Amino acid sequence: MTNENNSRVAAFFILKKVLDDGITLDAATEIIFEEFSVEILPQERRFIRHVTTTVIRRLGQLDKIINHCTKTKLGNTQMAIRHVLRIGIVQLLFSEVPAHAAVNTSVNLVQNKVSKKLQYLKNTVNAVLRNVDRERESLMKKYSNTRLNFPNWLLKGWDDRYGNAAVKEILNHLLVEAPLDISLKPELDLEEWANKLNGKVVPGGIRLTKAGKITELEGYFDGTWWVQDMGARLPANLLGAGKNDRVLDLCAAPGGKAAQSAAKGAKVTAVDLSRSRLGRLRMNMQRLKFDIDIIAMDILKYQPEQNFDYILLDAPCSSTGTIRRHPEILHMRSPADIKAMVDIQIKMLDHASTLLNKGGTLVYSVCSMEQAEGPDQIDNLLARNNTLRRQNIIKEELPGLEQTILPSGDVQTLPYHYQDGMDGFFISRLVKE
């Protein structure tokens, strides 16, 4: 089998795992790469990533185009054929693959990797893709609306909260691959390391648009830096803990925020329920040479011997702020999931507040753009807990990101708030009276 076909085969099976089995894109990619008997080269990995993420991001547009170009039924029974067509159309409309290669490799996929019961549809695949190639300009114009790719319930919530113009910007940024952001140890020079890594300085760190393999970047094994989105850096910075301060980091894995506090000399206790994620946290701390206290436990059952002056709760959430990096979230979340997350966050906030010393600071953050998980969550907390009050976040604390501060004094970052995008985070800082 040629390398050209290997890439399409891998993309096909990754998409089946994500869209049919509900597995995350990263996990599905790892599984399929491990199952392959031949080595997948770096350029092939980039191509597979581009194809799979573009299919998942633009699923609504792609399916409208497929339905426009064929009257053949392609429901659940024929889903494998729909996956093949999605892969083919992405190559035709959203990449520089020659048309003949996109069509021929798609037909080969049907012949070699789709069940024999569906191989009668290979002529349909050939015809649909040739139609798309012929009509590409009119199809791109007719189905250009990016809202086709997003569930209506999500769009309605964003329209109500942010307004149509802002939502249009959000959607445009969510359809583009995210750059790699890294946090540098604070004693090192940002400009110097940006030059070493061929990146640029952004608020609080360095951004790389073409990173390649992370472990091959200079400084990785020396523990010079760690991967962390610009938005994800803000909660620990706004916590304000410094040298020798005791910090409780709840839901701490994989450890980016714990690393920030440790880098400032704070004494960090990191608590998380997931042992596999804590394994990654331990590896990260060893590489970075940070000594922190790591506890594997349900945070709702965690009862320390003494309370803390600084608590960071990066709570489980819908993760709608990270759709750039994890586009499968679009197809895995429902309004019921948001409600379930809100209920968990309520319990975690109530428990975290009991672990905070008087005069102490609690920062609540979620990588979400949902009203219920952000402003509503904090308003409800303050209504039921009169020992807490907001400590407003001010623009001097967020140079370059002043537009993210809400009138309430909380922060909501959005994907378009910085040139090449950033993750969507809600952050609130509270003080115990």
Q: What are φ and ψ of residue 212, in 5° steps?
A: 75, -150
CA–CA distance, 194 with 187 (Å, rounded to integer): 14
Answer whether 390's CB lies under 8 Å from 382's CB. Answer: yes
CA distance 315 to 416: 23
**Residue 382, class by beta-carbon neighbours within 10 Å (0-12 exposed, 13-18 middle, 19+ buried)?**
middle
H helices within 289-392, ranges in order? 335-354, 375-384
Catalytic residue among 69, 251, 317, 367: 367
Can you say how many angstroms the Cα of residue 338 is from the centroid of all Cα atoms in its chain?
A: 16
* Secondary structure (3-state) at 226: strand
Is there a contact between 198 and 173 (Cβ–Cβ < 8 Å)?
no
- Specify which residues 184 forms β-bridges with: 225
How crowded is residue 144: how many other Cβ atoms within 10 Å of its Cβ? 9
Distance CA 254, CA 8 (A): 32
Asked about 251 being catalytic, the answer comes back as no
Q: Does residue 374 contact residue 426 with C-beta atoms inside 8 Å?
A: yes
Residue 160, judged by CB atoms within 10 A of its CB (0-12, 13-18, 19+), counts as exposed
Closest by Cα among 23, 237, 220 to 247: 237
Residues annotated as part of the active site: 367
